[in-house]
Amino acid sequence: MAALTQAAVGAEAPAARPRRRGGLVPFLLLAPALLWLVVFFVVPTISLASQSLQTGDIDNGYTLTWHFATYADAMSRYWPQFLRSIIYAASATLGTLLLGYPLAWFIAHRAGRWKNLLLVLVVAPFFTNFLIRTLAWQIILTDNGPVTGFFRATGLTNVLQAIGLTDNNSLLGSQFAVTCGLIYNFLPFMVLPLYTILERLDTRLLDAAGDLYADGWNTFWKVIWPLSLPGVVSGTLLTFIPAAGDYINSKLLGNTQTVMIGQVIDAQFLRVLDYPIAAALSFILMAAIIILVAGYVRAAGTEELV
């Protein structure tokens, strides 16, 4: 399990510059996976691209007419959902970061021999079906449950309501519940890369900072945080990307005001049967993610994507 540490799920090892030229060898090694990705991912993606430029309907069939207007149409109609998805994904990412950072630090530096066990516990939720997990959240946040009771008794619901995260004095069916679900689901993807980088962090630097008159807060911002950026970058990517496309959480824990773009794609694809617009929306989503990610990665200055 210490391996999951290495899972790095992103963090780049410092000694990690590839160093050899191997003639054919790398290509032979890559062949199976690459073949798989090309046949089962690239090819469908290309046909998806062509689909996004077709016109027609289910009864008369679709023909490729290079109808780029679909993209403009998709954007103009669904920009609010795009925006909302980005905002939700971003706030979920922020949430996972806020919760995941102390947890990763705790596991890396304070957990002693419990380290491995805690790492497994972080990943273990994946072994319980996603629907059961989400239903468990429904049980936890239910109107008559103790959590809601606590929130009501302490007036926290009013606070949440005031900032627009909930309404109706309940927790379920709100932006709050959706964000909670998203954070919960993607926390492991944040914690693992953060853990990998924080564990490697040279704690002597913290002593040095203290020695140079930095108190706890300054030590964090001036030393720990900048040094953990690579982990923060991979963690945020691995959280943000799937969260932006997710809709299970918004569907089961949200309300009619919390529809995310994944739900729209789903509806266009399955219910309206408007394949071009569904394909176009998918492409816009992928493109948006990749542009955001590329810009982010460049700004953060890490060499490789994930």
- CA 220 – CA 209 distance, rounded (Å): 9
CB of 153 to other proteins, least distance (A): 19
Of the two residues 33 and 155, which places its CB atom closer to other proteins in the complex? 33
> Judged by CB under 8 A, does residue 165 bind other proteins?
no
Among 86, 89, 92, 223, binds other proteins (CB under 8 A): 223
Least Cβ distance, residue 151 to other proteins (angstroms): 15
261-268: which pairs have CB atoms within 8 A and are 24 or more residues apart?
A: 261/78, 261/81, 261/82, 261/84, 261/85, 261/285, 262/85, 263/81, 264/78, 264/81
Taking the complex as a whole, the smallest distance from the CB of residue 78 to other proteins amounts, in Å, to 8
Q: Give min distance, CB of 33 to other proteins, in A.
A: 4
User: Can you tell me which of 90, 94, 156, 293 binds other proteins, judged by CB under 8 A?
Assistant: 293
Which 229-288 positions form the footprint of other proteins (CB under 8 A)? 238, 241-242, 245, 251-252, 254-257, 259, 262-274, 278-279, 282, 285-286
Dihedral angle computed from the Cα positions of residues 291, 177, 231 and 116, in that order, rounded to the nearest 10 degrees: -150
Q: Contact at 8 Å (CB) between 157 and 166? A: yes
Which residues have CB under 8 Å from 250's CB, separation 6+?
88, 178, 258, 259, 260, 262, 263
CB of 172 to other proteins, least distance (A): 5
Q: Which of residues 102-131 bind other proteins (CB under 8 A)?
A: 102-103, 105-107, 110-111, 116-118, 120-131
Q: How many residues bind other proteins (CB under 8 A)?
A: 152
Spatial contact of 92 and 183, defined as CB atoms under 8 Å apart: yes
What part of residues 4-23 is at the interface with other proteins (CB under 8 A)? 4-13, 15-22
User: Is there a contact between 203 and 109 (Cβ–Cβ < 8 Å)?
Assistant: yes
In whole angstroms, give the CA distance from residue 236 to residue 96: 8
In degrees and rounded to multiples of 5, residue 54 shows phi and psi of -95, 165
Residues 22-51 that bind other proteins (CB under 8 A): 22, 25-27, 29-30, 32-34, 36-38, 40-45, 47-48, 50-51
For residue 12, give the DSSP letter: P
Residue 82 in the binding site for other proteins (CB under 8 A) = no
Q: Which of 73, 90, 91, 138 binds other proteins (CB under 8 A)?
A: 138
